[in-house]
A and B are shown apart, each in its own frame.
Chain A
Amino acid sequence: MPLKNTQIVSGAQTKFGNLEGITLREMFAEAVDKATVDVDIPKKDVQAVFVGTFVPEMLVHQGHTAPLLVDYAGLRGLPATRHEAACASGATALRSAIMAIESDIYDTVLVAAAEKMTSVSTNQATEALAAAADDEFESSMGLTFPGVFAIAAVAHMQKFGTTEEDMARVAVKAHKNAATNPLAQFQKEITMEKAMTPRFIAWPLKLFDCSPISDGAAAMVLTSKEKAKEYTDTPVSVVGTGQASASMNLCDRTELTSFEASVAASRAAYKMAGLGPEDMDFAVVHDCFTIAEIIASEDIGFFEPGEGAKAVRDGVTALDGDRPINPMGGLKAVGHPVGATGVKQAVVVYRELIGDAGANQVAKHDTGIMHNFGGTGASCVVSIFRRADA
């Protein structure tokens, strides 16, 4: 059954990138302000806060982040709970907020997420990210996060003929879209030649196949259908959401060319919404690596297994294509402050749906889908939003 009551009435993100001199709580508060007081939603209307962060313990030596961040953002006293699901932390926070409104516990809630990653070295950040994989059986062998997706890429190339050039095309598209997104970490286009620069991170993945290390925050306000009109003329309805988990270890998966949690979460979201992939006007998917976008586009049913690379090659997923994917630049070029990403993705879908995406506006924008997955693909959340007047 489609969800009935939850509507998004605001959504905002900070600039993503190397936010030197700005700490975790400051960027969190900036995103909260942009999603509340800056759009005339009083903070006193917020009844609870759902927070997403990944590993602030390793990145900024800070645990128990929810009350800390919420206090700094002027929301002291409210129920505040941190959600952690590696790169899917943001979307799990959002999903809890959706369930809280659907269950009538609250009318108006805030979802906010942040990560500060540039405070440590690249090697330390790689180690922190590796905490999202199985430490006893895989990370301890030296398998890194890019390595996990490289193994999937090699399997996909072998099974379907996907090429390194296909992956590079995803990066070129991401940078092209991000060039007109002022909040992106990389606001510049790159050539195929540049994307193919053989600077390997985990062969066959090269530097430009990988999302960067980033700082940033994002926030959104969700409320009941009845209250939504007090805040905006263009509310967006949450019509479906699905979540699934899978084995942490790659070696416990039978399929390496598809992520089973993505398939299960998207099917659950479609079923709840009473919609199918053909009803989606565009998608925002988790392109932590270029191959991840190709596989995600297949897993959420936009394309048949093995057809994702062809879709990129043919421009189908471009901003002006028939099935735009990551129209504002994705994790790859906008940045990937891990815990914040899922909320940022929801903000992108929201802005596209209400026609607020500027130069990155997709032509058809009634219904959009977001796909956020965590770690080795062991967590996945997929949610579907539809403009309330559509």
Chain B
Amino acid sequence: MTEKPTIEQYLKNIEAHDFQPFKCLDCGTIIAPPSGTCYSCGGNKMEWARVSGKGTLVSFTVIHVAPDAFQEEIPYIIAIVDLEEGTRVTGRLQGFDPLKPEEIGLGIPVVLDYEAGKSGRTYLSFRPER
């Protein structure tokens, strides 16, 4: 596939449960969410890449007060995850009780999943690796 990756297609891929990061053609750095410029080498030519879906939980929060679009979903967990391919992404976190955040340990292995929100959107999401 030689098409130039776009943000629109990146978001559509998530909707289709087919997450694909950008990859710098010059140095191979995996980039997600998309950037117009590679943050490793400054290159601006990108292609699509695949990921294993394995990552590590870096930090998280539980949202209790949210804009109207997310009212029916609160409380929900937002997590920062390092993917094993070396890029860091933001997503939802499933598999935990949002009212027991103390049970969520930083550094735990997680795997990529998707979540259909009541907002009508599909979120990039993660769940603990069993």
Q: Are A138 and B71 closer than 8 Å at their CB atoms?
A: no
**Interface residue A130 (Cβ < 8 Å from any Cβ of B):** yes
In this complex, the member of A127, A142, A158 whose beta carbon has the largest number of chain B beta carbons within 10 angstroms is A142
Q: Does A251 contact B (CB under 8 A)?
A: yes
Among A151-183, those with CB < 8 Å from B are 151-155, 158
List residues of chain A with CB within 8 A of the CB of B48.
none
Indicate if the CB atoms of B64 and A201 lie closer than 8 Å: yes
In the complex, whether A301 has a CB less than 8 A from a CB of chain B is: no
**Nearest CB of chain B from residue A253's CB, rounded to whole Å:** 8
Tell me the chain A residues, 21-51 only, with Cβ under 8 Å from chain B. Answer: none
Query: Across the two chains, which residue of chain B brings its CB closest to A140?
Result: B121
Docked complex: A105-164 residues within 8 A CB-CB of B = 122-124, 126-127, 130, 134, 136-138, 140-144, 146-147, 150-155, 158
Given contacts A151-B60, A250-B90, contact A204 B7 (CB under 8 A): no
Closest Cβ of chain B to A206, distance in Å, is 9
User: Binary interface profile of A, 266-293, with partner B (CB < 8 Å = 1, else 0)?
Assistant: 0000000000000000000000000000
A249 touching B101, Cβ below 8 Å:
no
CB A140 to nearest CB in B, in angstroms, measures: 7
Q: Is A72 an interface residue (CB 8 A)?
A: no
- Chain A residues with Cβ under 8 A from B62's Cβ? 150, 200, 202-203
- Docked Cα-Cα span, A203 to B92, in Å, equals 14
Inter-chain contact A142/B80, CB cutoff 8 Å: no
- Measured CA separation A143–B79 after assembly (Å): 9
Chain B residue nearest to A256 in the complex (CB): B59
Question: Are B76 and A142 neighbours in the complex by a CB distance under 8 Å?
Answer: yes
Number of A-B contacts defined by CB within 8 Å: 108
B43 CB to nearest A CB, Å: 16
| Cβ of A143 to closest chain B Cβ, rounded Å | 5
Cβ contact of A203, chosen from B11, B58, B64, cutoff 8 A: B64
Q: Is the contact region of chain B dominated by helix, strand, or loop, or is it mixed?
A: mixed
- A198 nearest CB across to chain B (Å): 10
Are B67 and A130 in touch, CB under 8 angstroms?
yes
Which of chain B's residues 73-96 have a Cβ closer than 8 Å to chain A? 73, 75-76, 78, 80-81, 88-92
Which of B11, B60, B64, B123 has the most CB atoms of chain A within a 10 A radius of its CB?
Answer: B64
B60 to chain A: which residues have CB within 8 Å?
A: 151, 154
Given contacts A123-B68, A141-B123, contact A252 B61 (CB under 8 A): no
- Among A136, A146, A151, A200, the residue within 8 A (CB) of B59 is A151
Question: B33 contacts A136, CB within 8 Å?
Answer: yes
Return the chain B residue nearest A123 by Cβ. B68
Give the residue of B35, B66, B101, B106 whose beta carbon is less than 8 angstroms from that of A158: B106
Also in contact, A142 and B61, with CB within 8 A (given A136-B7, A203-B101, A252-B39): no
Given A151-B61, A151-B78, A202-B62, A127–B67 Cβ distance below 8 Å?
Answer: yes
The answer for the CA separation of A297 and B49 in the assembled complex, in Å, is 40
On B, residues with C-beta under 8 Å from A are 7, 11, 33-35, 39, 58-71, 73, 75-76, 78, 80-81, 88-92, 101, 106, 117, 119, 121, 123-124
